[in-house]
Amino acid sequence: MPTKVEKDAFTGTETTGHEWDGIKELDTPMPRWWLYTLYATILFAVIYMILYPAIPWLGEAGYTRGVLGFSQRVELEESMAEARSEQAVYLEKLEAASLEGMLDDPELVNFALAGGRTAFADNCVPCHGAGGAGGPGYPVLADDDWLWGGTLDDIYITLKHGIRWPGDEDTRDSAMPAFGSDELLDGAQINDVAEYVLALSGTGGDEAAAARGGAVYAENCAACHGDGGEGNREFGAPRLTDAIWLYGGDKQEVVETITKSRNGAMPAWKDRLDDSTVKQLAIYVHSLGGGE
């Protein structure tokens, strides 16, 4: 590009010497304030580089540390330590308090609810859903039906030891036989008992089959689920007379459950979470649907 610096006759300012499509640009000086601002930012940058970590690759730490010794990591650790020391008061109280006694201390309950909410989001939401909404195979925690009991103590023990969890001797354990797969019942019997179970909650369709299924139920199911289908918390055997179905309440799902059995599991959290976190979770889960 040809450059020819010339003096503009009208303003007396020199041009930049460039020309685009016949348009020339005046080389007008920057406004003074603008220039000073630029110098100020350069000065700021220099001072900043001296005071704060700035240049990588240099120095022992792999970067220049700056004379103030500032570090975001240290700041974070300090604020975390501060938060922990603020929590310590409540955590100690939580350790000491009995589960039932905790409910009398609104401040402690608030703390537990806040902590429990976070722990729940971190550990429980993948299966039980946000707010304990549950899903097929994973119990709703916000309703009024509890397989293994809904008191604070029951929830606490379930959390601690899990359900059908191999690594824990005290885990809540039971196993429903796979009546079909293990050939304990034939297809017709399974169909009849499924109709009987559906009829218990008033959703059955085939009364004749249900009547036949009654005998099958009494022989095979009543031991755990109760003579009237009222369930048994000792075995985590669901109540069959209500409107809540863990694996779905239509006939196909019920037949599937009887044929292959389900036996869902939940981890024991005692090795993964400390006792106060489990207590917080118990309080939180208890609050979701009002507990028992």
Contacting range for other proteins; rule: CB under 8 A; set: 71-79, 131-139, 190-198, 269-277: 131-139
3-class SS at 124? coil
Nearest to other proteins of 125, 223 (CB atom): 125
Which residue of 239, 267, 270, 284 would you call a contact of other proteins, by CB under 8 A? Answer: 239
Contacting range for other proteins; rule: CB under 8 A; set: 25-33, 74-82, 161-169, 186-194: 25-33
Which residue of 17, 66, 129, 214 would you call a contact of other proteins, by CB under 8 A? Answer: 129
Is residue 209 within 8 Å of residue 215, measured between CB atoms? no
Contacting range for other proteins; rule: CB under 8 A; set: 77-85, 130-138, 155-163, 219-227: 130-138
At closest approach, how far in Å is the CB of 280 from other proteins? Answer: 17
At closest approach, how far in Å is the CB of 103 from other proteins? Answer: 9
Which residue of 101, 167, 248, 290 would you call a contact of other proteins, by CB under 8 A? Answer: 290
- Residue 145 touches other proteins, criterion: CB under 8 A: yes
| Cα–Cα distance measured from residue 199 to residue 19, given in angstroms and rounded to the nearest whole number | 92
- Residue 253 touches other proteins, criterion: CB under 8 A: no
At closest approach, how far in Å is the CB of 28 from other proteins? Answer: 8
Is residue 64 within 8 Å of residue 55, measured between CB atoms? yes
- Residue 242 touches other proteins, criterion: CB under 8 A: yes
- Residue 137 touches other proteins, criterion: CB under 8 A: no
Which residue of 1, 20, 21, 29 would you call a contact of other proteins, by CB under 8 A? Answer: 29
Closest CA to 2 of 13, 21, 18: 18
Which residue of 53, 132, 139, 162 would you call a contact of other proteins, by CB under 8 A? Answer: 132
- Residue 142 touches other proteins, criterion: CB under 8 A: yes
| Cα–Cα distance measured from residue 246 to residue 173, given in angstroms and rounded to the nearest whole number | 17
- Residue 13 touches other proteins, criterion: CB under 8 A: yes
Q: In degrees to the nearest 10, what's the CA dihedral of 276, 277, 283, 286?
A: -140
Contacting range for other proteins; rule: CB under 8 A; set: 79-87, 162-170, 235-243, 261-269: 235-243
- Residue 133 touches other proteins, criterion: CB under 8 A: yes
* Total residue count of the chain as it appears in this document: 292
3-class SS at 119? helix
Nearest to other proteins of 145, 256 (CB atom): 145
- Residue 214 touches other proteins, criterion: CB under 8 A: no
| Cα–Cα distance measured from residue 277 to residue 281, given in angstroms and rounded to the nearest whole number | 6
Tokens 């309440």: give the residue: 249
Residues 215-227 as b/e (b if ≥16 CB within 10 A, e otherwise) read: ebbeebbeebbee
CA distances from 38 to 27, 30, 50 (A): 18, 11, 19
Nearest to other proteins of 58, 130 (CB atom): 130
Is residue 73 within 8 Å of residue 63, measured between CB atoms? no
At closest approach, how far in Å is the CB of 49 from other proteins? Answer: 29
Q: In degrees to the nearest 10, what's the CA dihedral of 281, 285, 290, 292?
A: -80
Residues 103-114 as b/e (b if ≥16 CB within 10 A, e otherwise) read: beeeebbebbee
Question: What residues make contact with other proteins under the rule CB under 8 A?
Answer: 13, 29, 31-33, 129-134, 140, 142-145, 239, 242-244, 286-287, 289-291
